[in-house]
Structure 1
Amino acid sequence: MTLPATPATISATTPITRIAPPPSPVPRIASDAEALEAARALAADFAAGAAGRDLERRLPWEEIERFTQTGLWAITVPKAYGGAGVKAATVAQVIALISAADGSLGQIPQNHYYALEVLRNGGTEAQKRFLYERVLAGERFGNALAEIGARDYTRRTRLVRDPAGWYVEGRKYYCTGSLFAHRIPTLVNAEEDGREVAYLVFIPRDAAGVSVIDDWDGFGQRVTGSGSILFERVKVEPEWVVPFQASLDRPTAIGPFAQILHAGIDLGIGRGAFEATLPFLRERARAWIDAKVERASEDPLTLHAIGDVRVRLAAADALLERAGRHVDAAQAAPDEASVAAASVAVAEARAGSHRAGLLAANKLLELGGTSATGRADDLDRYWRNVRTHTLHDPVRWKYHWIGAYHLNGRLPPRHGAL
């Protein structure tokens, strides 16, 4: 469908001047159960405005502030540094709960958690103390990881060291959440001893030379703030530069941890679609004439379809929990075997959530009929959101590595897409 132009749709060359308000200390969530309870309460609050935010492309500045002030953005800070250090499956379920209410809001903190996992694996003790404390003080991290314009995935954003200091130069895209962030972890390359070495640089959002551009125009996940960032000779301090290459060269749980969060987004959107389907079928949909029943909720083919969606969502949920246990094990004792097992378990969870999320969103429209396409209800947002997010990386390669692992004992590659 054609979405309306709104003042929130900014020119691709116009930097956003609005920045997040200064952070303030957040409540300390103490346990996995407390994190899930906080997420459930927040999801109920977010659900009411989800359709309006999507239709009007109203960027969720106030909602993100409320989200942060629950303490949920700090739940992966390790206990040794004052955080809750919750399980991987708990983080994924928090994301799923928020995504069921609003898929965009559920995706926004994903790269914040990812950056903290990179920090946990590659940061110095001083960097961990400093950046974990910033998160407990209410700072949000965005991301500047991906680039477009090169089919070979070559990273062109550079860390430049010269006598005047250290600088970052380049352009990034798909920078989810960076509109609302206080710091933007930026993936860069630097040449060292004749080879390219990767770093993650935690750049303040308001640093001179940083331009955040709201040019994301995908048909789904419309208010994630996933636009571009331009870095023009941005001066950075050495203590912001966290080694990343070493975390790829040795077994770590960074990849499977990142991917289980994506599974949570797809599962959550599917849950939201399913929950929207039930009242629509009970109250508004018409039974098909050949069913010879009075209500759509009594149509035997509809009942079969609803049962199928529910089973697939439940299976995806179980796969997510199982994958979380593997990620926890790999985080605690990373080696070739534990990280490979975690990567494959998470790939299975992503394959399950991919299929379940899309099926739930499809069936909402199919079973609801033409009346389910009404613009005011905005029910198509579930399909647009899950279809957009499931394109993050190809599920066909999940199946490939699952098969290669189980049939031939081949270990999957270590990168953020597995």
Structure 2
Amino acid sequence: MTTTAESPETTTAAAALSPWHGVADAAERAHWEAVAAEVGARLGTDALERDRANLDPHAELNLLREAGLINLLHPAEFGGGGAHWSTALHVVRVLARTDASVAQVLAYHYINASNIVFSAAPEAQEAWFRASIEGNWVWGDSVNPVDPALEVVREGDGYRLNGLKRFSTGASVGDVVLLNARITAGEDADRFLYAVLDHDREGVEYLGDWNALGQRLSASGSVRFNNVRVEAADVLGLDSPEAFASLLTPGIQLAFGNLYLGIAEGALAQGTQILRNRPNAWFLSGADTYRHDPFVQRTVGEFVAQIEAADALAERVGIHFDRAADRGGDLTWEERGELAIAVAKLKVVTDAVALEVTHRIFEVTGSSSANQRVGLDLHWRNVRTHSLHDPVDYKKLEVGAHHINGEFQPVSLYT
């Protein structure tokens, strides 16, 4: 993918300075929450039908473009939204209430595009940002670190790429595809290359094999690279030894926490609407309607309390991430580790809350809500599918090992 400036040297580390300063204020949050709520309402009108069609979300992403959500995190000085991470991931949460698949694509887009900061040389970043903003690019990815089947070898001033990557979220619908591949030979052998390819690059094949229980519109199918030429201008950079560059992992895990929390909120909202419309009551309850049944009220009370507790934690961790992103190259590994633990706590909590709420909401909505035309199962299918992304037990381990022994897990694209 050619930008308007020369390609960065691939040996350059991530930028010492961050484009994200301070923390989000109330005005910023309120503005983008309102925008996301409007888009989410539009997506919610036919989310179930689109889920059943299982088609890539091209039209849905156009809604995000039109609303300004695609460029929300990009610096205002280059024409972007100039928002903070806590705001961007709150937007993901709002969208997940009605369409968790599209919310996932947007979350991955934010992480993928942030590689402009985390991987590209400082002098090249403006050109990348301007190209992305002016093109309104959605950034898909082909990164999956547990599927290291890509082979990239040096060829002249560029590279030659071959192999297969599964679970390439957003790749088939993105304007560009971020790839991550280990270099197999030469002076940079065993380092990871980050490069950006335009969607229609010769030799890139989208297999369209995503057919999961949930998150069906997340465009997470496999991509095959058949002798693909990676030009020097396509290269963002190589993996960096800086703590700041490694914010990608707590960033994506924080996105997951917000995704799951949004799904739980969506299930509770839909379930509450169904419950309020239920006639009569269980004959032993002594109540006139189900909404006045004490056991129903008790169950909903549990859900509300759990979600609001998770909400408070999500807000706190979001601000923590804003402050870490503001640190730029001054971020220490200790600070990065503390952030990762905070994010892991949120992941543990929201995973449990979302699975609990989406599963047990049927206890108060009744047998008729299991009818497929209602679609209440969409929330459970979505969180059940995505929560398998990486085992939550290992997030519990992270938290426990740190609490007992002060240990941090080895840095990776999962920890």
TM-score, reference length from structure 2: 0.87
Does the C-alpha gap of structure 1 residues 285 and 318 become closer, same or farther in structure 2, counting only changes over 3 Å? farther
Counterparts of 1:284 and 1:174, CA distance in 2: 40
Q: Find the residue that maps to 2:159 and give its secondary structure.
A: strand
1:188 is the counterpart of 2:210: no
Give the Å deviation of 1:384: 0.3
Does the C-alpha gap of structure 1 residues 285 and 399 become closer, same or farther in structure 2, counting only changes over 3 Å? farther
Corresponding residue for residue 110 of structure 1: 107
Kindly tell me the number of residue pairs found equivalent between the two proteins: 384
Corresponding residue for residue 273 of structure 2: 279
1:171 is the counterpart of 2:169: no
1:270 is the counterpart of 2:264: yes
1:139 is the counterpart of 2:137: yes
Structure 2, unaligned runs of 5 or more: 1-26
1:142 touches 1:180 (CA, 8 Å); kept in 2? yes
Q: Find the residue that maps to 1:214 and give its secondary structure.
A: coil
1:322 touches 1:345 (CA, 8 Å); kept in 2? no
Query: What does 1:186-225 correspond to in 2, within 5 Å?
Result: 186-191=179-184, 192-193=186-187, 195-225=189-219
Corresponding residue for residue 70 of structure 1: 67
Q: Which has the higher contact order (CA 8 A, sep 6+)?
A: 2
1:53 touches 1:59 (CA, 8 Å); kept in 2? no
Deviations along 1:99-122, whole A, 9 cap, x unmatched?
A: 101111111112211112222122
Letter matched to residue 341 of structure 1: E
Counterparts of 1:89 and 1:249, CA distance in 2: 19
Q: Find the residue that maps to 1:72 and give its secondary structure.
A: coil
Deviates more, 1:170-179 or 1:382-391: 170-179
Give the Å deviation of 1:202: 0.5
Query: What does 1:149-168 correspond to in 2, within 5 Å?
Result: 153=146, 155-163=148-156, 165-168=158-161
Counterparts of 2:238 and 2:278, CA distance in 1: 53
Structure 1, unaligned runs of 5 or more: 1-29, 148-152
Does the C-alpha gap of structure 1 residues 346 and 244 become closer, same or farther in structure 2, counting only changes over 3 Å? farther
Does the C-alpha gap of structure 1 residues 56 and 69 become closer, same or farther in structure 2, counting only changes over 3 Å? same
Give the Å deviation of 1:60: 2.6
1:73 touches 1:135 (CA, 8 Å); kept in 2? no
1:321 is the counterpart of 2:315: yes
1:315 touches 1:352 (CA, 8 Å); kept in 2? no
Corresponding residue for residue 25 of structure 1: none
Does the C-alpha gap of structure 1 residues 243 and 286 become closer, same or farther in structure 2, counting only changes over 3 Å? farther
Give the Å deviation of 1:165: 4.6
1:143 touches 1:178 (CA, 8 Å); kept in 2? yes
Corresponding residue for residue 331 of structure 1: 325
Counterparts of 1:214 and 1:258, CA distance in 2: 24
Residue 98 of structure 2, aligned match among 92, 98, 101: 101
Does the C-alpha gap of structure 1 residues 325 and 159 become closer, same or farther in structure 2, counting only changes over 3 Å? same
1:248 touches 1:415 (CA, 8 Å); kept in 2? no
Corresponding residue for residue 18 of structure 2: none
Deviations along 1:167-189, whole A, 9 cap, x unmatched?
A: 22111111111221110001111
Give the Å deviation of 1:133: 1.3
1:256 touches 1:346 (CA, 8 Å); kept in 2? yes
Q: RMSD between aligned alpha carbons?
A: 2.0
Letter matched to residue 158 of structure 1: E
Deviations along 1:192-224, whole A, 9 cap, x unmatched?
A: 448411122111110100111211111101111
Q: Find the residue that maps to 2:284 and give its secondary structure.
A: helix
Letter matched to residue 137 of structure 2: E
Q: What's the % identity of the aligned pairs?
A: 26
